[in-house]
Amino acid sequence: MELGNKIGNFLAAVALVTASVYPAAPALADQTRNDQWHLRYLNLAQAHQVTKAAGVAVAVTDSGVFPHRDLTKNLKKGTDTSSGGDGNGSGQTDQVGHGTNMAGLIAGHGHNVNDGALGVAPSAAIIPIKVTGARDNGLGLAAGIEWATTAGVDVINISATAAPSRPLSAAVTAAARADIVIVAGTGNESENIRLAYPAALPEVLAVGAIDRNGKIADFSVTGAKVGICAPGMDIVTTGLGNNYDRVDGTSAATAIVSGAAALVRAKFPDLSAAEVIHRLTATADDNGPPGRDDQCGYGVLNVVKALTAEVPPLEGGTAVTASAQPSVVAPSVGSSADPETEAEESNLPVIAGVAGGIAVLGVLLAFLARRRRRPTA
């Protein structure tokens, strides 16, 4: 009964940031990567020539993270604060699947060279923090953020919501003061005139969702606090039991932006958390009325520009959504790529010249191995 209540509480919390989760269609070899349209939309192949975020730690405060084969190289020991902050457990269990979905979007490394799910920051470390996320108090989420702060992570991904509370506000403030980038979804109730917590807090980068045509998702909550948008519809990612899911919601967009923040932290290690957020918003592509708007804030995430453009420093203060953004000098990707030597770094090579018989056998085996199932939700 206790486990059922915890799962029920978490599902209520993620309802505002996850519009739907459904199994990806059965796929042949390499189809999972092909189905991840956001990789091409964001031009991540070019971004990964600059950095893949080796050495950066991202906390995923969620339902826990299943050790999916596309995550195991990056998945580290975390904790479980779902009982109110006792710090027990590793965070590497997930009865819901939501946390596993988000972790794959942030730091999936795939398998067999270019099969499986690839994340935005495929060399970043994932620190799983299992929280209740209950909207009635948010104590588990607050405790998880506190634990992440003490652990010294670089980015905290919050693809969940909670009711406003002093413990949650205090935890977010402490994390920001510890120079941690905090990213959260705006929520999925488009008729709601108020952003979800903790995205509404001033220290947090609030993320909305767009579809593959660059249009704001119907479910994405809008408002003056929105900072940026990212793909958040029909997104393929890791699921429970080494399966794959398609997800919709600002939670997915949030995880993608958290991955981008990890890349920026790797490329520019001396930037403060406020400057990292500033770089992400200053280089975003304006996709609505000229200038900032309430739908996508400063625009749609542009990962390559965030890593390569010349961005004037943030002037005075650490506000996440300043009233004006500085001009951005056109980017140029050259020989300034960060040296990264981990074996998992080569996730997007071009494969050619596979013998016909081996290819047919691989297709058959992949088809039998990749049966998708709906996560327990």
- Could you report the per-residue pLDDT of 184-232, keeping only the tens digit for each? 999 998 666 688 899 999 999 999 999 999 999 999 999 999 999 999 9
Would you say 138 and 163 are in contact if contact means Cβ atoms under 8 Å apart? yes
Q: What is the DSSP letter of 376?
A: -
Sign of CA dihedral 337, 339, 341, 342: negative
List active site positions: 62, 98, 251
Structure tokens at 107: 């730091």
Residue 284's pLDDT band, with cuts at 50, 70 and 90, is very high
Q: Where are the domains of the chain?
A: 2-369
pTM equals 0.81
Report pLDDT digits (tens) over 42-90. Answer: 999 999 999 999 999 999 999 999 999 999 999 999 999 986 555 678 9
> Could you tell me if residue 214 is left (phi over 0), alpha (psi between -120 and 50 degrees) or otherwise beta?
left
- The full DSSP string for 28-46 is -TTHHHHH-HHHHHTTHHH
**H helices of the chain, where?**
2-14, 31-35, 37-41, 44-47, 98-107, 139-151, 166-177, 250-267, 273-282, 303-308, 356-369
Q: Residue 357: exposed, middle, or buried by beta-carbon count in 10 A (0-12, 13-18, 19+)?
A: exposed
What is the CB-side half-sphere exposure of residue 179 using CA atoms within 13 A? 7
Report pLDDT digits (tens) over 316-339. Answer: 654 444 334 444 543 333 333 333
Q: Average pLDDT of the chain?
A: 81
Residue 288's pLDDT band, with cuts at 50, 70 and 90, is confident
Would you say 252 and 160 are in contact if contact means Cβ atoms under 8 Å apart? no
- Residue 293: what pLDDT? 96
Q: What are the residues facing 156 on neighbouring strands?
A: 59, 182
pLDDT at 1 over 90: no
CATH value of 2-369 in 3.20.20.80, 3.40.640.10, 3.40.50.200, 3.40.50.720: 3.40.50.200
